[in-house]
Amino acid sequence: MLSEETVVLDQSVSNSSPDSRSPQLDLSQIRNRFPILSREIHGHPLAFLDNASTTQKPDSVIQAMVDFFQQSNSNVSRGVYTLAEEATENYEEARKTVAKLLNAVSEDEVIFTSGTTAAVNLVAQSWASQQLKAGDRILVTEMEHHSNLVPWQQLCKQLGIELDYWTIDREGCLDLEELNQLLSENTKLVAMTAISNVLGSINPVGEVVKRAHSIGAAVFVDAAQAVARMPIDVQKWDCDFLAFSGHKLYGPTGIGVLWVKQEQMQKMSPWQTGGGMISKVDRQESHWASGPAKFEAGTPPVAQAAGLTAAIDFILETGFDSITRHETELTQICLDKLQSETDVEIYGPTSMESRAGVVAFNLRGVHPHDVAQVLNESGIAVRAGHHCTQVLHSKLGLQASVRLSVGVYNTEEEILRLVTSLQHVRDLLK
């Protein structure tokens, strides 16, 4: 079920492409749509700069879920009564909206999961564990989030597969020349993130897919960071699997997406079994449903699907060209300011050409936890720790870092406040 507002938004969607004349965001209008931004923390307006971790929700996302619970709440796919039909329609509408966002061939390629982590585990168990055998190789990058690393690592241990690492260069980027040397006839899967959640590096997914396919390897793309930051076209990338979480693109937690190319989905066996994923159950045997349902055992996140639809509509209505432009401008300001501080060490690409709105740094001599704690006093929310990338952090020779990550609603004032507040950290701790 779509709300009237959603339909209107839907009509305004354009297949946007990055444009040097990208329209500027109407920032105050955008900010007004996020109720949480009116919160004060320790007497300061909230500056939420932890968008790589999760994003805040616009009014339309919150309302879509409230509407669902107040008007249509019911389980999907089973009942014949009005509410059940509305719930099913609402759920399947989300699938279509995701297909549109990713430019998928069909919504039948869209499997709903609880998030990116579940999607990676699903591919590891349903596809890789059947398709790969001892002696095969999986290639990951050094910048992977634990969610796109640990499931592969564990599968390798189980099956006797080799796990190879594609190293990062001094700027935190991947070198395609090195890829040629790493890909071997035994490489059966390349698992990579489209954008690093720490370095902000934008990776050359399309080029990787081309080279991986030429030697018969499939490609899994972790789009958790990319999905709210850049337009994704799975047909153009030609990847085999792609995953993201709803809560990273201004949608709710508890829902994520695994997109699978049709020919690969046919090779996949169910991971979790139970209700909703069967076509027939006998006393000793069961037969599986076809399409995405085969991988969606149990009651799916129906209300979250309503929120996800609204979130994708919000993104497409705002337009990736203006989102990218805005986030690039803010990140550039942040890099310029932080680079002029002599005791700040920044990680990741120096040029915005290959960098998205994520900046990890350290204030020399102060533990990142302490930096984040003091910044919180000024209402600034940043992340401190290893950001679920311990392999990357040890490569960088670090235990932890402070990370700020911008979103569609952040302002220049917030970035400047962070830089100014670093002096407060120094005064207290240095």
Partner 1 sequence: MSSEEIYKGVILDHARHPRNRGNLEDPDFEAKAYNPLCGDELVLHLRLKQDLIEDCRTLVRGCSICQASASMMSEELKGKSMENAAALSGIFKKVLHQKDSEDSETLENLRPLMNLRSHKSRIKCVSLAWNAFDECVEKFHETTEKTTTPS
Q: How far is the CB of 128 from partner 1 (least distance, A)?
A: 26
Q: Is 334 a catalytic residue?
A: no
Q: At closest approach, how far in Å is the CB of 45 from partner 1?
A: 17
241 vs 347, beta carbon nearer partner 1: 347
Query: Which residues are paired to 111 by β-bridges?
Result: 258
Amino acid (one-letter) located at 182: L
Cα 336–chain centre separation: 26
Return the closest-CA partner of residue 260 out of 245, 277, 241, 275.
241
- CB-wise, 332 or 373, nearer to partner 1? 373
159, 258, 259, 328, 405 from 116: Cα distances, Å:
23, 7, 11, 25, 19
- Select which of 173, 239, 334, 388 is catalytic: 388
Query: Dihedral, CA atoms, 52, 223, 181, 391, nearest 10 degrees?
Result: 30
Could you list the residues that contact partner 1 (CB under 8 A)? 42, 366-370, 373-374, 376-377, 384-386, 390, 393, 399-400, 428-429
* Spatial distance between the Cα atoms of 58 and 407, rounded to a whole number of angstroms: 12
Q: Is 195 helix (H, G, I), strand (E, B) or coil?
A: strand
Q: What's the closest the beta carbon of residue 372 comes to partner 1, in angstroms?
A: 9
Query: Between the CA of residue 305 and those of 301, 360, 405, what are the distances in Å?
Result: 6, 32, 25
Determine contact, residues 142/391, Cβ cutoff 8 Å: yes
Structure tokens at 52: 């790589």
Query: Using CA atoms, how far apart are residues 50 and 135, in angstroms rounded to an integer?
Result: 40
CB count in 10 Å sphere of residue 281: 11
**Residue whose CB is less far from partner 1, 162 or 377:** 377
Q: Looking at beta carbons only, is 174 or 384 nearer to partner 1?
A: 384
Distance of alpha carbon 215 from alpha carbon 29, whole angstroms: 49
Q: Which residues pair with 71 in a beta bridge?
A: none
DSSP annotation of 126 reads I
Smallest distance from the beta carbon of 3 to partner 1, in angstroms? 37
Q: Which is nearer to partner 1, 67 or 144 (CB)?
A: 144
- CA 62/CA 190 separation, integer angstroms: 37
In whole angstroms, how close is the CB of 374 to partner 1 at the nearest point? 5
Our CB check for partner 1 shows the closer of 227 and 366 to be: 366
Shortest distance (Å) from residue 253 CB to partner 1? 18
Give me the active site residues, please.
Answer: 388
